[in-house]
Chain A
Amino acid sequence: MIEIRSNLDITRNKAKFPYSASVCYESHNSKTQGTAFFDFDPQFPCYALFLSPEGALLLKRGTDEGTHIRIGVAIWYPERTVRTDVGMGSICSVEEDLVDIWADRTTWQVVTIV
């Protein structure tokens, strides 16, 4: 799971997009943007549990220890991936990005959602 600590996207037009939050995953020199849809108001920190390379559940810690509660979903758009090492605006191909998002199976963890 990826922890999302806050919601920051200063370029986002809140008048046009009042009901979703832009989220962004950055690695060393690439950036993948997505959109978070909270069931109610945005809550941070929260955790993104990736069900697939482009879809994640957004969770927060539950009241019982070790449990989580679903609070929304996030959708990641690989076509928005920007390769900063080759210049702003360069777009990686969708397929290339998607197939390369993978999980390190040596570090599996079990998440309980109630």
Chain B
Amino acid sequence: MENCNAKHSCVKTETPLPTRVLDIAVEVGVDTKAIRLVEPQGQNGKYIAVSHCWGHSHRIKTTKATIEQFKSEITYISLPKTFKHAVVYARELNIRYLWIDTLCIIQDDHLDWEREASRMGRFYKNAYLTIAASSSSDDSSGLFQDMDARMYDVSYVSSDALCHGRPGLWNTIPDTHIKKNGTYPMFAFDPDNGSAFVVYQAEAGIAKLFLTPEWMPSSTKANPLTYCIGEFGRSYDPLDQEPLSERGWTLQERLLSPRTIHFGSDQMYWECQECLLAEDGAIFSPNCRTVPTIRAVGLWDAVPEVQELSMVGKADRKEYICSDDDNGSSLSSCDWSWSWKSTWTRIIENYSTRLLTVENDKLPALAGLARSMAERTGDFYQAGLWKSMLPDLLFWKVVVSEPTHMCKDPGHDKLLPPPWKSEVVVPPAYRAPSWSWASVDASVEFGWLRSEGPLTEILECRVELAGSDTFSRVKSGYIKIKVGDLSRTLACKRLVSQQIDNVLRHR
């Protein structure tokens, strides 16, 4: 964090405090500090936001019945372990205020919940730091995992090996099929202790040997140096498998937080706008598509408390993008549309894999992110889809994996993983129109539509909101599409002059 404070532009000056925060440094005696729920009412300051899984254990929470008591004092002993750790951590960093949704939103007050939920994105975006209890599936777990209990449960596989995209120790080596003058480069592999592989540059006549950390001597592990994780054609998120990454609400909490300390299962990670750095020294490349776009969109920049979305027009957006050229992450105007669309589809594909305790939170749990994007892009949001991206965002489907191969050897069928389709659940109560991904609980993915030769025209897209938040729940919606009669004209060019049978036949 000191490095980030000194060298990065991530750190902010004091920002408006949330509606309610925990003041964890109330002086009640010599070296004695109490915790109290306070309402800063527009005051600026530094605060830490907490991203956590609620879990199912008994917990305290702010309700209409407890809020007055909590304004007086919240006893440290009454907090679940994760919150206790957060208090200790914040005090160590000399940060006076904490924001935890459980305690800073009145949980049984519908109006308060709706209002504060709509501001939640801003609360994370304005935080001096976010503490993410990444490895904890319950508030009672604490930030730190018991390393003794899990050590040696499984073989250690380094992130460097995992980023090859083929998890499992036996699969950590990329395929190498290199032959020159009848000789192969030297190749070594020890599945019990680690992996190594060779990259051969034919033109230069050079073979490079790469070792993953499992092969490094123990003295090296004890004194780690900063090193970069290779991508090998794909980016790798070391936090992807953590319990916190399974939850719906926490996606926007991570994406909107300018700086986060993740308390992971194996180690801690620092994530800011410039890097994702592991405790052992590994530096991970930022997601090459999402992060630059989020940075260019300006999600991490401070936004005025009240902003009319209509005031942010397309011209303003272009001007903003053009000015963002100082860190190599800017997007040219021709890249803008693609990047913006690509970023959103990747976000939704990730979000759709996550779980929500309250099924009706599907749109609210992403509302903060949508609001932030709308504030920067001027786009219009309709039940999870952006107006500027229609009809492309209509073309989503439930994830299906039906592996196949091109050869004729039936023996290869046995080597393929079995077919798989995401579970699909329709919520019992109406949640979104059928054309929205939010209408079902399922992992979804987006296809790409070619832009030339549009066959349709979006005439109208409307939703009726269920509440006051434009980016949250809806109670109805429709889309009107003007479409040509393809059944009369679908044909190959060389057949156009011939008679065309309009019937769709099936074998």
Contacts and interface: CB of A to CB of B under 8 A. Distances in A.
A47 B281 CA distance: 55
Interface in A53-101: 53-55, 57, 67, 69-73, 75, 81, 83, 92, 96-101
Interface residues of A, number: 66
Given A39-B442, A54-B450, A96-B492, A16 B419 contact: yes
B492 A37 contact: no
Q: Please indicate which of the listed interface residues A7, A10, A18, A83 has the most CB atoms of chain B within 10 Å of its own CB.
A: A18
Given A50-B455, A113-B481, A30 B400 contact: no
Contact of A102 (B455, B457, B478, B501): B455
Nearest to B477: A114
Contacts of B435: 57, 70, 113
Nearest to A96: B493
Interface in B363-401: 391-392, 394-398, 400
Contacts of A98: 450, 453
A107 B484 contact: yes
A25 B391 contact: no
A55 B449 contact: yes
Contacts of B449: 51-52, 54-55
B486 A27 contact: no
Contact of A26 (B391, B402, B481, B504): B504
Interface string A1-44: 11111111111000011111011111111111000010110000
B506 A104 contact: no
Contact of B478 (A4, A39, A67): A67
A52 B450 contact: yes
B468 interface: no
Contacts of B479: 112-113
B406 to A, nearest CB: 13
Contact of B391 (A51, A103, A105): A51
Q: Please indicate which of the listed interface residues B450, B457, B486 has the most CB atoms of chain A within 10 Å of its own CB.
A: B486
A109 B483 CA distance: 5
B506 A9 contact: yes
A53 B455 contact: yes
Contact of A110 (B459, B495, B500, B506): B459
B402 A17 contact: yes
Nearest to A12: B507
B507 A113 contact: no
B485 interface: yes
A42 B83 CA distance: 48
A89 B46 CA distance: 69
B487 A2 contact: yes
A27 B491 contact: yes
Nearest to B416: A16
A83 B493 CA distance: 12
Nearest to B436: A70
Chain B interface, DSSP helix/strand/loop, else mixed: loop
A32 B499 CA distance: 17
A30 B450 contact: no
Nearest to B442: A39
B488 interface: yes
B385 to A, nearest CB: 12
Contacts of B456: 49-51, 103
Nearest to B505: A26
Nearest to A83: B492
B498 interface: yes
B305 to A, nearest CB: 36
Given A52-B450, A110-B480, A23 B485 contact: no
A103 B486 contact: yes
Contacts of B400: 19-20, 37
Q: Please indicate which of the listed interface residues B397, B477, B488, B501 has the most CB atoms of chain A within 10 Å of its own CB.
A: B397
B394 A109 contact: no
A28 B502 CA distance: 8
22 contacts: A2-B490, A7-B506, A8-B506, A17-B404, A24-B504, A25-B504, A27-B491, A27-B495, A32-B490, A51-B391, A51-B395, A51-B449, A52-B453, A57-B435, A70-B435, A73-B447, A97-B492, A98-B450, A101-B489, A103-B483, A104-B486, A107-B488
Interface of B: 391-392, 394-398, 400, 402, 404, 413, 419-421, 424, 433-435, 439-440, 442, 447, 449-457, 459, 476-496, 498-507
Q: Which 4 A-B pairs have the closest CB atoms?
A: A103-B484, A8-B506, A107-B485, A100-B493
Given A4-B504, A39-B442, A104-B485, 12 more contacts: A11-B507, A22-B507, A25-B505, A27-B501, A28-B501, A53-B453, A81-B492, A98-B450, A109-B482, A112-B478, A112-B480, A113-B433
